Amino acid sequence: MNYFSSNFKLGILGGGQLGKMLLNDTRKFDIYTCILDDSNEAPCKIASNEFHLGDLMNYDDVYNFGKQVDVLTIEIENVNVDALEALEKEGIKVYPSSKTLRTIQNKATQKLFYVDNHLPTAPFSRFAYTSEINEAIKNGGLNLPFVWKCAQFGYDGTGVKIVKSLEDLEGLPNVECITETLVPFKNELAVIVVRSVSGETKTFPVVEMEFHPEANQVEYVICPARIDSSLAKKAQEIALNVSNAFNHVGLLAVEMFQTQNDEILINEVAPRPHNSGHQTIEASYTSQFEQHIRAILDLPLGRTDSKVDGVMVNLVGAEGFSGDVVYQNIEIIMNMNGVTPHIYGKKQTRPFRKMGHVTIVNENLGDARKVAEQVKNTIKVISK
C-alpha cells in the first residue's frame, strides 16, 4: 500500500490537541488525513486535508465518516464503538480495535481484564450504582479510605474522588462505578508501548508524573523516571504484557503506581497518544505521534530512546479566568535555553482546561526540572 502522496485516506476520530500533533506527522509524510469532531473550533481544523463536523458518540456520524477512509484511528476513547464494530465487519481497518476500546471505555471491564490476564492492579470492587457503596461500608464489605471512579467517561481527574468519609460520597453521581483500595505509592509512572499491525513492539523510557494536588492533573512529566533501572525494566515488561494481552495496534499509554514495596501496579491505560509522551517530540528520536502513525500503517517502528533528558509542563487555564485566551509571559520562557512551548489552538480558556504544554530539554535532568519549575511559575494562561 502506498500511503505517501497517494489516494490513501487516514481517518482520525477527534480533532483535539492530540489529533493536531498527529497531523504534524501526517503532513511530514504527506498522508491524506480526514478528521471528525463536533466543534468547528477544533484545533485539527486548520491542519487536516478534510474536516467533518459530527458527534463522536453518534452511530451514524461515526459510521458514515468511517466509510470514507481506508484506516480509522482515534485521538480520544469516547467514540461510538458499535459503529467501529460495523466498519470492521465491512473491511475498514480500525486501530485500536472496537473490542479493545469496548474494554477500555469502562473502568470496571478494564480492571476485570487485568485480573483475567494476571496483570498486576490494585484490588477493587464493582458497583452498578454509587448508592450501593453505603450499604457495602455498613456491611463491612468495603473499608474506608478508597478511590471512587466513575466507570464510564471519566478523564483527567473528572470522575475520580478519594473517599475518606461517608460525607465524601455526597454529591457524587449515582452511576456505575468502581472503588479501588487506596494504594500508598511512592511514584506515579507511565510507559508508552507501540505495537504495529505485524506485532512489532517497542517501549519508550519510563516517565514519572508529578500531579497538581487539587486538580488531579499532571503538572510535570519527567523523562527518564528517577527510579532504579531494574524497576524501570519491570515497568516496561508489564506495559508490554498489557499491550500483548489486548493484541493492541498503535500506542498504548500504561499508567502505573510504584508502591512503597517497589511493586508495580497498573492504574489505567489510554489506547492513543498520551500526555505522558509529549516530551518525545523534542527529546526522542521518534515522537509518540510518529510512532502511532507508523504502527497503524504497519510501517517499521522508529527508535524510542531519548536523545536528551526532558521534562514536560502542562499549560492549563489559570483559576479565576474564563474567556479569550492570553499566554502571559510566553516571550520570557522562550528566552530560556531548551524551552519549547506548544499551543493547542483552543481560543477559550477556563480554569484547569488543557491549553498547551511546554517541553524543557537538557543534558542534565535535575537542571531540566529546575527550568520546568521556572516555566511553571512564569507563564500564565489567562483571559483578556
Query: Tens digits of per-residue pLDDT, 330-372?
Result: 999 999 999 999 999 999 999 999 999 999 999 999 999 999 9
pLDDT beneath 70: ranges in the chain:
155-157, 215-216
Is residue 182 part of an annotated ligand binding site? yes
Is residue 307 part of an annotated ligand binding site? no
What is the rounded distance in angstroms from the CA atom of residue 148 to the CA atom of residue 133?
10
At 349, list the grid cell: 480558556
pLDDT of residue 157: 62
Number of C-beta neighbours around residue 88 at 10 A:
16
Question: pTM higher than 0.85 for the full model?
Answer: yes
Is residue 377 part of an annotated ligand binding site? no
pLDDT of residue 167: 93
pLDDT of residue 212: 75
CATH number at 123-181: 3.30.1490.20
pLDDT of residue 215: 67
Is residue 247 part of an annotated ligand binding site? no
Neighbour-count burial for 266-283, b at 16+ CB within 10 Å, e otherwise: bbbbbbbbbbbbbbbbbb
How far apart, in Å, are the Cα atoms of 56 and each of 37, 292, 347?
Answer: 7, 20, 21
CATH 3.30.470.20 placement within the chain:
185-383
pLDDT of residue 213: 73
What is the rounded distance in angstroms from the CA atom of residue 245 to the CA atom of residue 114?
9
Top CATH class of 185-383 equals: alpha beta
**Are the CB atoms for 246 and 252 separated by under 8 Å?**
yes
Is residue 130 part of an annotated ligand binding site? no
Q: What is the dihedral of CA 124, 231, 296, 92, to 10 degrees?
A: -20
Classify residue 362 by its DSSP letter.
E
Is residue 149 part of an annotated ligand binding site? yes
pLDDT of residue 217: 73
pLDDT of residue 102: 97
Residues 6+ apart with CB under 8 A from 199: none
CATH 3.40.50.20 placement within the chain:
9-94
**Are the CB atoms for 85 and 98 separated by under 8 Å?**
yes
Is residue 203 part of an annotated ligand binding site? no
What is the rounded distance in angstroms from the CA atom of residue 160 to the CA atom of residue 178?
10
CATH 3.30.1490.20 placement within the chain:
123-181
Residue 201 phi/psi, 5-degree rounding, is: -125, 150
What is the rounded distance in angstroms from the CA atom of residue 221 to the CA atom of residue 116?
30
Top CATH class of 9-94 equals: alpha beta
